[in-house]
Structure 1
C-alpha cells in the first residue's frame, strides 16, 4: 500500500512539512495555486492542507476522488464548502485552539486602543502636535463587557477581562450555567447584553443564525457611548448601521479586525476617527502561525495513518488512543449495517428509523463513530458511495430517525452491537460480537441465533424448516460449480422459519440465484457482499 499523499496549497510553517514527512506521508508544498491549477492536480492527493487563501469549492472536490481530509490551519472554515465535502465523504478539520490566545489578546488590545484612543493619539503626536486635552479616555475597570460567544476565544477574553476587574456578561446559546461559573461570566440573553454592556465584543462563528447578530436595531439599542469590537468574522454586524451609530455620536467607538468584504480597501468606516481597523490580524503572531501549522499536520497525519479524528467539523472525534480499540468495533458496526441494509434494499421498503444498541464492553466506548459506521453500512447498498462522514447527513436529509441505546447489562456475550431498521410495516434486527483478536462475528438475525463469520461473498436464504431443503440447496450450488466456504443455520422453532447463511468463494451468478429462489421451501434468497 502506497503512503498517503498531502498537498499544502497555502503558506504554512516548514515545521508542518517536517511533521508529515516524519510520519511517512508524502507531501507537496505548492502555495499560491490558481483555482484551475488546483483542480488539475488535486486528484493525486489524499489530504489537502490550507489556510484562508485556498478556496475548497465543490468544483475542487469534484476533481478529487482520492481526497479523504481537508485540514484548515485556523478556526474558521469559510473557505471550505463543508456541505459538498460531507456529501463526498471528505473529513473537514480545523484548529480551534491553535490561535485562540492570540485572537483573544488582539481583542483585548483593541479594547485598550478604543478606551484610550491610542491610534489617533499616536498619529497626532507623530504629526508634531501635543493634543493632551483632546484624547480623554475611559477606564476599563468596573465597566461591563458583553461577550457574544463564549467558546474557546470568548472564554479567554473573559479571563483577561476579569483580571482587569471588569464585569463580564455573556450571550451564547451553548453556554451552560456551570460553564459560565467556571469562566467567571454571567449568562444573559442577547437583549439583556445589549442593554447592559459598555463594551461588546463578538466571538461567534459566522452562520445563518449569527449573520448580522448585531443588526441596526441592536446597535442603536446599545447604551449611548458604548463601544463595539469584532475580531471574529465579517458579517456578524451591520457595518452600515455601525457607521451611522458612530457618526451620530450614539456609539463612542468601534474596533474591527474583520469586514464583510475582505480585503477591505474602501469603507465609509475608514473615514471616522473613532474607528480602529486592522487587516484581519487576530491570528497574526509567530506563535499562532506555528501552532496551527503543527496542529493541522498532526491531525491530518493521525487521520490518514490511524483513523483518529480531531477537531472535525463534519464527523465525530476519535482520539489517537481510541482509534486502535474502536477499529474492530467500527468494522463490526459497518458489517452489521451492511447486512441489514442489503436485506432491506432487496425488498425496497423505505427505512424510517435506524437504532443502534450497545451492550457490555461496547457500552463503554465512544459510540458516535460506531453509529456513523453502522449508518454507512445501512445506506451504502441503497445509495452507493456512503462512508462515516456523509452517512449521518444523508440519513438526516432523508428524515431517517437515528437512535443510540446503551445497555450496561451483561448478556451472553462480553460485547454486543445490535442494528435495527424500522419501516412502516416491520422492524428487523441483526446483532454481532467480536471474537478472537477482534474478528467481527454475526450472532443473530431477526431474533434467530445464527453464529457466522462475515465473508466477502455470502448468500442469505430464508426457508421453511422442513426436511429436504439443505440437500436441494447444496446440490444446486454444487452443480453450478460454486464452492461453499462456510455454512450456518438457524431457526426460530422446529418446523418454523429458518435461516441459512453461506460464505462463498465468489458472487452468485444470476441464473444460479434464480434457481435457488425456485427451490422447494425457499422463501427468499439475497446475495450479500461485504
Structure 2
C-alpha cells in the first residue's frame, strides 16, 4: 500500500533536525520515510513518567495501542506538532487535549481493513466449528469429536453493526461464503449497501432476533459503549454467536458472560477487551477463559501486511505535517479523502499564496493591519462542491500570518487555524457558489477583505484577490481593482502607477542600477467593472459642474481610469533603497515587495 499523504513540497534536509519519538514497535518500512530527514528515536517500554520527561524535546510522537498519550503528556510536549496512531483506534490518545493545544492527531483508517475483516471471518468460522475447544482438548490428550459438532455458515444470517470499510469488507466475504447479510448503520449509504447485497435495518430490535452471527465494527464512543447489554442478548436466538474485532466495551462484558452462562447465546469470538491484557479475575479475564469463547489477544491488525500498511500511512502523514503539508486522516479535523486531497492540494497552495500576498501587498505595502478585519473566501464552480474546505481555511490563516510571525506560519495547521485566527482578531467566512455560468475557469477562488473606508489611505473599503488553478499551476487573476494573470511565486515587486509612456523603461533602469534582474513583467489594468464605475462617476461630476473634471490624486491631474499595476518577478536583493528609488518618479502611487 502506498503512503496516503502526498505533496509537491520539495524535500530538503535542514540543519535543525526535528525529533520523532517512537515508544512502540512500528514497522521499519514506514520509519525509513523519516530517518533521512529527522532524528527518529525508538524507545520502547517507557513508563508514563519517563514519557512525560522525554516528550518536551520532540516534534512528533508515533504510537500504537499500548502508549497512553494523556493530557499530561501532551501538555509536556511543548514542541509537539503531531501524534500519530499506527492503527485505527485512538482510545489511548486524549484527542480533546491535543486539539486544545493545536496538535494534530492522525491515524490509519484503511491500513488494516483487510486484516481486521479476515480475522473477523476467522473467528466466525472458529466459533461455528468449535475450533478453539477442539484444539485445546486434543492437545490435552482428549478425543471429543462427538461433543464438538459445529454448524455450517452457508445460508445463515450475519448481522453487522457498523457498515464502514471493515464492516463492508466482512459483508462481502460473508456473502462469498453463502451467508445472508443484514446491517444496522444510520450513516451507511443505502445505494452502496444495496449494490453489495446487504439489507439495511433501522433499529437493533429489527436485527438482533433474526441473526445467527453478529459482528460489530464501530468506534468506541459514548453512544456505542455497552451497546449490547443483558436486554439485547435476551432478544437473540439461543443458537446465535457474537464476534468482536473492533473495540472492547461495545459488548458489556458482564452481560456477555451472563448471556453465555444462561444460554441466551451459544458462543462468542472475542479479539478485544476493555483492559488489555485482561486483569486477573476481571470480567475480561473470565470472558477470555470461558469455554464457549474463542479468544485472541487483539490480533485483528496483526498481519505483516497490515503493520507495514499502517506504518507507511502514518509515517507519510508525519512527514507531510512536519514539512507544512496536509495529513489525509486527521482524527481531530475532517477526514481528507485521497480524491479530495488531490483536488484540494493545488488550491491549498493558491489560497495560502493569496493570504500571503494580501498581507504583504495591502498591509505591508500600505501600512494597514489584518487584525479586526473580516475576510471572505468565495469558492465558485467545481470547487464549491467540495464539502471539506477546512484545509483551505487553514491555508488562508497560514498565508495571512506567515510574513508577520516568528515561525513563518509553520505552526498553523488544520486543527489550530481557527484558534490562531481568533487570537489575531481575524474573522473568516466561507461562501460556496456552485453556479458556473459566465465563469471562465472550472473553479475560481475569491478572497475579499472588508474594513473601514480609508483604512489604508486609498479610500478602499474592500480589497479583492481572485485566483484559479490550471493543471498543477496556480495563478492570480485579479488583484484589488486590477485584472491580472500571473503566478504568485518568488520575489515580486508590485507598483501601483499611472499607465503612461516611459514607466516601464524607468522601472527597468532603477532595477538595473541596483543589479536586480527582471524574470517577468505583467501589467494589470483596471478591470472592466471598475472602469465603468469610474466613467459613470466622472460623467456625473462633469454634469454637475458643467465642465470636464479630472480627479486629483497627489501626482498632478490624472485620469484614475489610467491607473495600473506593474507586477515584476525579480531575482536579486530588493532593499529599502531599491523600493524608495522605484517610488520616486512622478506617477508612481505605491510600491510593495512580496516574497512568496
Instruction: Please give the range of the TM-score, normalised by the shorter of the 2 chains.
Output: 0.7 to 0.9
Q: What is the 5 A alignment of 1:61-460?
A: 61-191=74-204, 192-265=206-279, 266-268=281-283, 269-270=286-287, 272-305=290-323, 307-313=325-331, 314-315=333-334, 316=336, 325-332=346-353, 334-335=355-356, 356-358=378-380, 367-374=389-396, 387-391=412-416, 403-409=431-437, 411=439, 416-419=444-447, 430-433=464-467, 443=478
Distance 1:71-1:346 versus aligned 2 partners, 3 A rule: closer
Cα distance in 2 between the residues matched to 1:146 and 1:355:
45
Output the CA distance in 2 between the equivalents of 1:194 and 1:365: 35
Q: Pick closer, same or farther for the CA change 1:19–1:336 going to 2, 3 Å.
A: closer
| Distance in 2 separating the partners of 1:187 and 1:5 | 48
* Paired positions, count: 474
- CA 1:394–1:140 in 2, change beyond 3 Å: closer, same or farther? farther
Q: Residues 155, 362 of structure 1: CA spacing in aligned structure 2 closer, same or farther, 3 A cutoff?
A: closer
Change in 2 beyond 3 A, CA 1:279/1:403: farther
Bigger radius of gyration = 2
What residue number does 1:46 align with?
A: 59
Q: Which whole-Å CA distance do the structure 1 matches of 2:167 and 2:302 have between them?
A: 18
- 1:471-492 per-position Cα deviation (integer Å, ceiling 9, x unaligned): xxxxxxxxxxxxxxxxx99987
Residues 204, 399 of structure 1: alpha-carbon distance in 2 compared, 3 angstrom cutoff? farther
- Return the alpha-carbon distance in structure 1 between the equivalents of residues 252 and 427 of structure 2: 36
Could you tell me whether the CA contact under 8 Å between 1:307 and 1:323 is conserved in 2?
A: no
Alpha-carbon distance between aligned partners in 2 of 1:61 and 1:20, rounded to the nearest angstrom: 22
* Counterpart secondary structure, 1:294: helix
TM norm structure 1: 0.73
Task: Give 1:17 shift.
Answer: 3.0
CA deviations on 1:245-273 (whole Å, 9 max, x unpaired) are: 22111111122111122221333443632
1:306–1:324: 8 Å Cα contact kept in structure 2? no
2 CA distance for matches of 1:131 and 1:361? 65
> Quick one: distance in 2 between partners of 1:189 and 1:278?
31
Write the distance in 2 (CA, Å) between the matches of 1:118 and 1:329. Answer: 58
CA 1:361–1:399 in 2, change beyond 3 Å: closer, same or farther? Answer: closer
- The TM-score normalised by the length of structure 2 is 0.65
- For structure 2, which runs of at least 5 residues remain unmatched after alignment? 1-13, 452-460, 492-523, 539-550, 553-559, 566-573, 577-594
Instruction: Quickly say closer, same or farther: Cα 1:435–1:12, change in 2 above 3 A.
Output: closer
Contact map agreement 1:375 1:391 (CA 8 A) in 2: no
Tell me the residue number matched to 2:518: none
Contact 1:226 1:253 in 2 (8 A): yes
Distance 2:302 2:469 in 1: 52
Structure 1: which 5+ residue stretches go unaligned? 457-487, 507-528
Residue aligned with 1:103, SS? helix
Contact 1:336/1:419, CA 8 A, preserved across alignment: no
Report the alpha carbon displacement of residue 108 of structure 1 after superposing the two structures with TM. Answer: 1.1
Structure 2 CA distance for aligned equivalents of residues 137 and 393 of structure 1: 57
Pair 1:127–1:308, CA change in 2 (3 A): same
Whole-Å separation in 1 of the counterparts to 2:357 and 2:167: 43
- Counterpart CA distance in 1 for 2:418 and 2:377 is 16
Aligned partners of 2:153 and 2:177 also within 8 Å: yes
Describe the superposition over 1:433-478 as per-residue Cα deviations: whole angstroms up to 9, x where unpaired: 3799978869466xx669899999xxxxxxxxxxxxxxxxxxxxxx
CA apart distance, 1:185: 1.4
Q: Distance in 2 between matches of 1:254 and 1:107?
A: 11
Distance in 2 (CA, whole Å) between partners of 1:93 and 1:166 is: 35
The answer (yes or no) to whether the contact 1:318–1:369 under 8 Å persists in 2 is no
Of 220-229 and 299-308, the range deviating more from structure 2: 299-308
Pair 17,227 (structure 1): closer, same or farther in 2 beyond 3 Å = same
Kept in 1: contact 2:272–2:297 (CA 8 A): yes
Q: Secondary structure at the match of 2:266?
A: strand
Residue aligning to 2:5: none
Contact 1:7 1:28 (C-alpha < 8 Å) held by counterparts = yes
Change (3 A) 1:322 1:27: farther
- Structure 1 vs Structure 2 CA RMSD: 4.8
SS of match in other structure, 2:52 = helix
Partner deviation per Cα, 1:219-267 (whole Å, 9 max, x = no partner): 2222232111111001112112222222111111122111122221333
User: Bigger CA drift: 225-234 or 52-61?
Assistant: 52-61
Aligned pair in 2 of structure 1 residues 416, 505: CA closer, same or farther (>3 Å)?
farther
How has the CA–CA distance of structure 1 residues 327 and 402 changed in structure 2, closer, same or farther, with 3 Å as cutoff?
closer
1:357 alignment partner, SS class: strand
Name the CA shift for 1:99/1:375 in 2 (closer, same or farther; >3 Å): same
Question: Per the alignment, in what secondary structure is the counterpart of residue 179 of structure 1?
Answer: helix
Question: For each residue in 1:28-50, what CA deviation from the matched residue of structure 2 results, as whole angstroms up to 9, or x when unmatched?
Answer: 22222233333333333332221
